Structures are given as C-alpha cells and as structure tokens.
C-alpha cells in the first residue's frame, strides 16, 4: 500500500465514528493549546524583559558603592588592617570623583544615586512615594518620557516631574490639569539635637522615634509617560526632582542603610554612583578599575545568565503543568484506538486473510493516531493563539488604567508553532503503540469467527 492509501484508510475509519474522533481530538487540542499558551507566556515575558533592558541600556550600567558597603561581611584577624588599607586607597564618592569618571574610556556620564522617601500632598490628598534625584541635563536628554508638560530647565529650580499614576492616586482625573500646580513634599531626618528633645525622650522610652519633619513646596512642570524602569538605573519612582534643589533639602536617602546614620554627620560623599557606558564591552574594564580602587560594583550584565537560568526553570515548570493536559489527551487516544480495535476485530481478520501483513495493520493504526495528533496540534495551536490574545487584551485593558504601557505578554516564535504540531503528532504516535501492537496480534481465524 502507498502512503496515500494509508492516509485515506485512516481518515475513512475516523469518519465512521465522528463524535468519538471529535472528543479525542478535542482533548489533544486543549492539551496542546494549554501547553502552547504557557510556553508563549514564558517566552513573551523573557522577550519583554530583555528588550526593555536593552532599550533602556541597562546592560551598559555599572553601580559603584562606597566602602561602607564594600567592607561589609569582611571578618577575621586581618579585618582592621584591610579596612585601613582600603581607607587609604579608596577615594570618596564626591563631585570630584564624578568628574574623574568622565575621563575613563567608555563612560558617557555618571550621577549619584539619590533616592529618598517623602509624603506628597496635593490639595487635600496625600500619598507616600519614593523621590528620585535627576540632573536637569540628563532629564532633557530623554532620561524620562513625558506624557504632558516639559522638563525642568536647571538643577536649581523648585520644580518636579510626576507620574500620571501617582496623580490618579491623588484624585487628579485629568493629569494635564496638574501642570503648574504647587505640590508639597514632606521629608524626615534623624534629629538628636536639643530642639528635638521631646522626640528624643520618647525614643529613649520606646514610645517614639527621633525624627524631625521638613516641608518643601515644588511646582509640577511635567508628567511622566510611564512608571517603572524609567531610565538606565533600575529604579521605580513616581517623582523626579533637580539635583541642585535636592542638595538644599534635609532628607534621609535610602540608597543604603548607612545613609540613615550618615545623615547625622557631615557629608562624606555619596553612598552610590551610577555609571552609564557607551557599550556593554566597557562593563568589565570599568568594574575592574573601580574594584581595584576599593569600591564594590554591580552590573546588570553579570546577572543576565542568572536571569536566563530563572527563565529556563520557568519554562520547565510551565512545560510540566502543560504535560498534565497532554497526558490526559494521550489516555483518550489510547482508549479510542483500543475501542476501534474491538469494534473492527472482524475487519482486521479479513484484511489479514486476504494478505495484509502485521506491518500493514500497524501502519493503518499508526496513521490514525498520527492524524489525530496532527489535527489536535494544528487546532491546539490556533486555540492557544486565540486564548493568549484574549488574555493579552484583558491584561492590557487593566494595565493601561494603571498607567502601564501596552505590551505583548505572549510570543509565538516559528519554532514553537512547528514544535507544537510535531510534539502533538509524537505524543499521539506514542499513545498509539499499544493499540497498534494489539491490532497486529489479532489471529485472523479467531477474528473471522468473532461476532
């Protein structure tokens, strides 16, 4: 028999039991659809992650941290000596150090990572948020994307840029109406001065904290297009203020825990500095240079392999969950094929009596299993694509209301589409092994006597 004859015979046999064939195939469709959707979600999240980091050039970023963090965790008899040597070798992370970084090959710019908490008040509404300090030149260079308004013109302005999601939490319905309005920022500092004696006494009694509060008034000049990864530093912030203005504010920076204690002392430089490089190829040389000077460094590029490993585990988990549906579908195929053998017992005997070999019988049932797998794979792929797009539409509808930009959470690469169909056929063929072997063992004499 030719291959076309096997296919024709298989389709003819499957059409005789339309309902059973439909239910069996539908089980494969659901299993493959679930598996494809889960894989597509994992690949979509991975692509969104890497594309966002590449677009924001986060792989070109190196964080440099002061020695108070660098020496943390070093213990032993040589700890004091090593600390003294590091103290001599490592310069302070101050403005002079920032200027020296500009002379290093590959460095585009460097800025201190200054973030501090503040209570934000607009009209009668209040919200707690994290404030990010951003120099005016970087702001105007497109560090953040604006939905409305403009950037602040200088580092000495008492102006700020705010996210539209924070404005909504402050009960501002039309975010454009916030441009030009005054907003109040309230910051805290650790204060052990005699003027704060009441709070100090409460602190010693365990009933309060030695903090003092300062209020500052700013003007809203711009509204951020989106929140989250808004620039080359991995920072989530709703508010940006000029660098020069932040210097005049009393505040507690939360770049590190040591900042809380340094806030009570004269300025000893920044606790962290972010360096933007022109290319990822400069990451390792710059890191080595900073570490030789006694600093601790962090680069997102170093975490890339760990992140990829995390996504591999996610793919394995999603595959394991999807295989539950595939296993159920495989049992359905086995059941269908075994029932088909019992119903066609006499037919198999006739085929063998007129010269059909065991191999011919096996091929007929293998082709029937393969057809079920092929149809299940194709329609399962379609089902997975349709369901994924519906879910993607719902997620984006909810996300846009929260100020999050639209994106595709599912990705269907060509290898996933072809692989889904091939995998469906493979599972169906494996499920058809037992029924096929059973059909080949049918004794034609016994079969012809069978009623």
pTM: predicted TM-score of the whole model, two decimal places = 0.57
Give the position of tokens 């909810």.
398
Domain boundary among 300, 329, 352: 300
Quick one: 97 and 156 in the same domain?
yes
How far apart are the C-alpha atoms of 363 and 263, rounded to whole Å?
A: 80
Distance, in Å, from the CA atom of 72 to the CA atom of 111, rounded to the nearest integer, reads 23
- 49-58, 65-74, 163-172, 242-251: lowest mean pLDDT where? 65-74
Instruction: Specify the range with the lowest mean pLDDT, choosing from 48-57, 80-89, 162-171, 197-206.
Output: 80-89
Question: Is residue 218 a contact partner of residue 156, using CB atoms and an 8 Å limit?
Answer: no
Three-state secondary structure call for residue 199: helix
CB 352 within 8 A of CB 442: yes
Same-domain pairing of 215 and 78: yes
pLDDT digits (tens, 9 = 90+) for 403-421: 667 788 888 888 888 988 9
Shared-domain flag, residues 404 and 430: yes
Cβ contact 365:358 at 8 Å: no
The model's pLDDT over 232-249, given as tens digits with 9 standing for 90+, comes to: 444 457 889 998 888 888
296 & 359 share domain: no
Out of 300, 317, 339, a domain closes at 300
Same domain, 180 and 227: yes
Q: Which carries the bigger pLDDT value, residue 301 or residue 291?
A: 291
Residue 387 and residue 333 share a domain: yes
The last residue of a domain, from among 300, 322, 350: 300
Q: Are residues 181 and 256 located together in one domain of the fold?
A: yes
Residue 263: predicted pLDDT: 46
Count CA atoms closer than 13 A to 277's CA, side-chain side. Answer: 23
Cα distance between residue 421 and residue 403, in whole Å? 38
Q: Are 35 and 119 contained in the same domain?
A: no
- Give the contacts of 156 (CB within 8 A, at least 6 positions apart): 242, 244, 245
- Domain tally, the chain: 2
Q: Indicate whether 226 and 313 sit together in one domain.
A: no
Question: Are 317 and 211 part of one and the same domain?
Answer: no
Closest-CA residue to 287 (of 62, 66, 96)? 62
**Which range marks the domain in which residue 151 is found?**
59-300
Judgement on whether residues 247 and 126 belong to the same structural domain of the protein: yes
pLDDT score of 194 more than 50? no
Helix axes 414-431, 358-401, angle to 10 degrees: 140
Beta-sheet strands, E only, within 113-179: 115-122, 125-133, 146-149, 159-163
| Together in a domain, 68 and 180 | yes
């Amino acid at each position: 028999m030719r291959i076309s004859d096997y296919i024709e015979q298989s389709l003819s046999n499957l059409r005789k039991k339309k309902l059973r064939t439909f239910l069996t195939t539908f089980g494969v469709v659901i299993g493959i659809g679930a598996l494809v959707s889960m894989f597509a979600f994992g690949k979509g999240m991975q692509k969104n992650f890497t594309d966002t980091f590449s677009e924001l050039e986060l792989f070109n970023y190196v964080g440099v941290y002061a020695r108070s963090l660098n020496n943390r965790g070093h213990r032993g008899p040589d700890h004091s000596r090593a600390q003294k040597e590091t103290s001599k070798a490592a310069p302070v992370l101050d403005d002079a150090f920032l200027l020296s970084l500009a002379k290093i090959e590959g460095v585009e710019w460097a800025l201190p990572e200054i973030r501090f908490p503040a209570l934000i008040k607009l009209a009668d509404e209040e919200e707690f948020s994290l404030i990010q300090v951003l120099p005016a030149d970087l702001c105007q260079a497109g560090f953040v994307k604006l939905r409305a308004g403009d950037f602040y013109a200088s580092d000495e302005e008492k102006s700020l840029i705010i996210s539209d999601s924070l404005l909504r939490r402050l009960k501002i319905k039309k975010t454009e109406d916030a441009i030009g309005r005054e907003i109040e920022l309230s910051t805290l500092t650790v204060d052990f001065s005699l003027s704060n004696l009441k709070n100090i006494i409460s602190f010693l009694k365990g009933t309060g904290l030695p903090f003092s509060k300062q209020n500052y008034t700013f003007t809203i000049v711009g509204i951020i297009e989106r929140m989250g990864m808004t620039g080359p530093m991995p920072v989530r912030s709703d508010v940006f203020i000029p660098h020069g203005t932040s210097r005049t504010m009393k505040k507690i920076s939360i770049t590190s825990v040591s900042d809380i204690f340094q806030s009570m002392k004269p300025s000893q430089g920044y606790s962290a500095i972010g360096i933007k490089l022109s290319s990822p190829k400069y990451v390792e040389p710059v890191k080595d240079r900073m570490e030789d000077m006694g600093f601790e460094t962090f680069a997102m590029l170093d975490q890339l392999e760990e992140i990829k490993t995390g996504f591999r585990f996610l793919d394995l988990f999603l595959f394991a969950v999807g295989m539950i549906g595939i296993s159920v579908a495989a049992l359905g195929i086995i059941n269908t094929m075994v029932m088909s053998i019992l119903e066609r017992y006499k037919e198999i005997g006739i085929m063998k009596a007129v010269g059909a070999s065991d191999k011919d019988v096996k091929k007929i049932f293998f082709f029937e299993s393969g057809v079920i797998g092929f149809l299940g794979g194709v329609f399962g792929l379609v089902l997975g694509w349709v369901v994924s797009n519906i879910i993607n539409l719902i997620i984006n509808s909810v996300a846009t209301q929260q100020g999050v930009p639209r994106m595709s959470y599912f990705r269907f690469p060509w290898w996933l589409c072809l692989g889904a169909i091939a995998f469906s056929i493979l599972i169906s063929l494996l499920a058809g092994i037992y029924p096929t072997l059973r059909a080949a063992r049918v004794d034609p004499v016994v079969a012809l006597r069978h009623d």
